[in-house]
Structure 1
Amino acid sequence: MYTLMILMPMLVVTFFGFQTYSSNMKERASDFSLELLNQLGKNVDHYFNELDRISLTFSMDSGVEKALLPSGKSAFEQYQDKMMIDKALMDIVLVPFQDVIGTYFINPNGDIFSRYGSGQQVDYGNFRNESWYKEALEAEGKGVLIPTYYLRSIEGREELSFSFVRSLIDVSKNQSAGIFRMDISLNGLSEVFSSVGGGTEQELLIVDSQGHIIYDRDKSKITQMFPITLEQESGSIVKRIDGKEVMISYVTAPFSGMKIANIIELSELTRNVDILRNLLWTLTGVALFLSIGLSVFLTRRLLLPLKKMKSLMNKVENGDYSVQFKAQSNDEIGKLAGSFNHMVRKINELVHHIFVIRILKRDADFKVLQSKINPHFLYNTLESISMKAEVDNNYEVADMISRLGRLFRMTINHDKELILLAKEMEYVENYVSIQKIRFPNLSFIVDIEPEVMKSYILPWTIQPLVENAIIHGLAPHNHEGSIYIKAALVDKDVVIRIMDNGKGMSEEKRRDIQAQLLTNIDKDDDQIHIGLKNIFDRIRYYFGDRYGLVILSGEQGIGTTIEIRMKYLKEEGEPLAEYHGH
């Protein structure tokens, strides 16, 4: 994944960058070639204009015009005519261009006049059957360029050259007065092309309207046909020729109508691009190597700790909660390790807590089952005594026994973990009503909000405290006094206070009892401590550490206030308060 994240952008940038650069390079090369060819076309046109001007100079020469006057001349006059034509032909050979191979004039009688420059004599005796002669006559006085060919002298020597012919028109008769021909070597065109730069890697050619190559710089394609048809005035196209992809740019020379073409291999154009491409691919390869190394490094750095943590998780699944992951850094893996260790510790504590609760519950269930035998027997016995008291008209005793029987029945029939506060208060009121028969001066006041009455609490948490208040608080006062029970909802908790105005206790004893509740120190011979400890432990184990029982006041002679706090539960199956650790 890391490799792809690094490699893909580089590949995309490399590919599109290369394509864009290559396209721009081709466009610039095309523009440069067209500009160069336009300049070259102007030079070629200038050269052919000079050839046309020379042919016109010959036709307008006064000696030539005189020599072309009608026949009927003497032999001397004919000799003079010949001399004037020869002189005009020689002037052309010697003066304008050093690359003129030879000049010729053929009159209507078939007489051939010739002068030679850099070349040797060529036999044109069969001129009437030559295509160039017919083309010159058909041009009616216009110059005709004969494409490049191999010129063969009478000595048998061949030389690449091209020719320029023109028919001299007798205006009075509107017919040809003779044909002027000029054979020219390629030296002049070579000089024209040598004046234009562009390097040796490109081909520069001149193509006529029929597609013949009349000149190329290395002279290897002269007389051949150009590989494609150049239909437009100018342009640049990319073609595959002889297995090579080339760019062909061309323009049309305005005067001569010749196509000046440039052929260059694309590999030459993109040589620098190829260097750049190779550099980019090299950098991509280096980046790929580094990304693979980075990927391996990060994978080992990330996956090895995770695999080790997975192994520890498997141990936790199998019940080993003592494992801990030792982090080597403070990065995300280190933070994850800290969270894992904290989770395992909390699970271990919770499992231990649940285990303790189950042991306590199992022990309590056993004791309840065991204790139900005697209360059940006692309940049935009390019912028999109550019936006997009623028979003897001792109704007060019968009422006491009946109330005690109902209290035992409630004890026998209740086996749930939670009970409505209203039901718990019913137990308390039954117990107090029995005590009032014995102690008529006992005052019992209850102040509980209706909403709190509908909450669920642990059973037998209020009645033992009321019993302690009567036996240990009010008994020294001949059981005269009051017990006040107040319950309210405080911060989503049920807070219940049991207050009496009895004997009370010293501050030292209050602290001693509270300390025993917190430090698991029991005094087996003190029933006060046993009852309080039982209520305290049951509340804390069921609801959590922040719940329990607190002795708020206990001054000697003033009375005692005990407060119990449990989570407010609207339904019996509602989740308990968050576990705070045991």
Structure 2
Amino acid sequence: MKKHLTNKVFSKILFFFSATTLLTMFLLLFFLSRYYTEVIIQKERDASTQTLEQIELNINRKQEYVQNVIKELYLKTDLILYDIAFALQNDYSTYLSYRLDKYSESSSFVPINLNTFFQAYFTQDADINAVSLKSANFETEYIYVNNHHRWNQFLKNSNEESSKHKLVEADGELQMVKWEPQAEGYNTIQISRFINDPVTLKSIGDLTVYYDTAGIEDILRLRRSQYKGSVHIFSRDGTNLYTSDRSIHPEQLQKLPFITNFSEMTWQGKKYYVNTLADEKMGYLYIGIIPKQELKNATKVQQYMLLGTILLSCTAIGVTSFLMRSYSRRIRTIDNAIHEVRSGNLQIRIPHSKQKDELTTISESFNEMLDDLNKYIKDVFVLNLKQRDAEMKALQSQIQPHFLYNTLEAIRMKAISDGSKTTSNMIYSLGQLFRYSLSGKEIVQISDEMEHVKQYVGLIQIRYQNRLKVSFDIPDMYFDEKILKFTLQPLVENYIIHGFQKEADNNELLIQAKGKNKDIEIMVRDNGRGISSERLTYIQAKLKEGATNAEESIGLSNVHQRLHLKYGLDYGLSIQSVEGEGTTVVIKIPATRRGIPNV
């Protein structure tokens, strides 16, 4: 086994790959598990905080409403001075006589008294169970009940049995009844504010609004999908004002400090996450309790993650082992073929594989190398013979142009001896054209290209005497600039074939060169037949597409494409023409020298 691992590179790779995969996967599982648990805890903490903040906002809004009512009360001077202050500082019978006298003296049909005060401010909010207006000496208390059912439920939670007299509003009138003192219950939140005499500024009583906790229950019900814990509300002195889960004893929560914090708590062997939100203004401590058992889903996810990690690791190792065995067999085949070649067997071939990878490329290259090697060995002598034959034909090809030039020169001398000067000049020009055409240069000077054009134009002018006027406007500074061979002559030839008017004697051709930025533009302009708009559009499209056919092989498209290939797409030729007026072709090439002036 040790020898197998030492000699087989793929076995080593598989071993180290398996160890690296397992280590990486389990480290990843460890960190993901911790991260996932922290995310779950943070998510529950955020949900608890949001829930407590919504409950705090709900209660603060009610507290602000009570405060605004007190402010409105002080602004109503007649009400607080002549009714509420009198009612709180006197017994009920005296207050009742006083109120009847005030009503009889008033010219208004709408009385201003405790009844109208309660009804005006405390009948619109459905969460209000009752409103208490209590004198400072606790002798008299007026109760306005807004929801009798909930108020009676609250009274059942009273912990004291001593009785007093109270005034309860019934059918719009205050009535004196026996009253059991209020006790802190689980369904009522009390908000109290002192009432001072506007004249003496001494406290004459307090106003207490008893709010039902239905609004809090609605908040918890709406957020049940996000927050699965319980909510508790305590006053600063440790009094339990509200709890959504009575399984948690209030005494355990009374020990919590009056601060905003997140901590853990153990009670009856169970662990809880505790989120507290302290409201310094109201003096309330809002507590969110999250049982740690509620986070058991995180444990299940961790178990699934462990199982998935094991399965993925085993799958990765198994697939890698299978693939590496396949590669190992193919490499062994290549290795055996190399040993066969080293022993002299050049007929060996590596079997073709359907897989497209580097090993396939190596195999195909190996087979092609052997084919080329066999072909080279077989053809080496034939190639030597062909090389000698090629050298002979090269010598012959060098003789053929000289033979053509010498023959044309002999014909020209014969024409001179016969007195035919015109024929002699034409033969001379033709010989110069042939010599330029057969030269091996691809790039020539503008001066050479212009000389070639002049030889061609000279032949045309001999044929059509006094019918063609050619002008050249080429500054000397451009003569040694470089240009592709056969760039201008095809354009002139194109004009002679398509634009030259044989019957007219005013044919004109202008060849002009000028600098533009760092480029050179050579313009070939004539006053020939011109091109129709449809034909011009077609030609311009063909130039743009780069289309070339047999007829245009030495024409516009050929020149345009050669300029593109040599200098790039920014260079080439453009054509403009008006039918019956002439054609202008502009060639754009780069300048080889700096300092080309703009014209």
TM-score (norm 2): 0.37
Larger Rg: 1
